[in-house]
Chain A
Amino acid sequence: DTEVTQTPKHLVMGMTNKKSLKCEQHMGHRAMYWYKQKAKKPPELMFVYSYEKLSINESVPSRFSPECPNSSLLNLHLHALQPEDSALYLCASSREDRGEKLFFGSGTQLSVL
């Protein structure tokens, strides 16, 4: 199994809603990442978990709250988002946390109304 699975694929939410994005990998990877990608832009790093501990937070607003329940799962909890937060949210994993090969999921396309 060489896949990173993200759910849901599409999400529409209002600014007062609370929702969660989920990411799962069964490759035994020890690092997991959240990236945000706006249309026609490169992915921007949001968070990195290494060995289930948050190691990088790229000054992301607190309305985004990551969680790593175990080594295979990564969640991104969303609350009180703004329309400008609409984007493709990509999860990725890597075998170690040295910035080598990233395996990406297909992403969650989020629209905030």
Chain B
Amino acid sequence: AQSVTQLDSQVPVFEEAPVELRCNYSSSVSVYLFWYVQYPNQGLQLLLKYLSGSTLVKSINGFEAEFNKSQTSFHLRKPSVHISDTAEYFCAVSGGYQKVTFGTGTKLQVIP
């Protein structure tokens, strides 16, 4: 069985401030970890993923996440947020087979 916990349902942050969205996972097997972003009335888009190799993964728009096996975490960070980053962010885990389990989501609200 696998599960994902996103403790923060909403995170308000001022524009150009740093942000961290927390994600912890539980799995009995090796995992793939993901962050997806969902804008209003749209489907989900992959933001970044960890499959293997370097534990620090980065997206093209300045987000990064670090896989920490000992703490079973995959927190998402950005040093300076922009208004356009306002969205719902879902952490997800897969055990390398078909079923991807999503966390409950964190709504990032960037305040001008």
Contact = CB atoms under 8 A, between A and B. Distances in A.
Nearest to B104: A42
B45 interface: yes
Of the four ranges (under 10, 10 to 19, 20 to 34, 35 or more), the interface on chain B belongs to 20 to 34
Of the four ranges (under 10, 10 to 19, 20 to 34, 35 or more), the interface on chain A belongs to 20 to 34
A21 interface: no
Contacts, number: 66
A111 interface: no
A48 B51 contact: no
A109 B32 CA distance: 29
Interface in B74-111: 90, 94-105
A4 B45 CA distance: 11
B42 A42 contact: no
Interface of B: 32, 34, 36, 41-46, 49, 51, 90, 94-105
Interface of A: 4, 6, 31, 33, 40-43, 45, 48, 50, 55-56, 90, 92, 97-107, 109
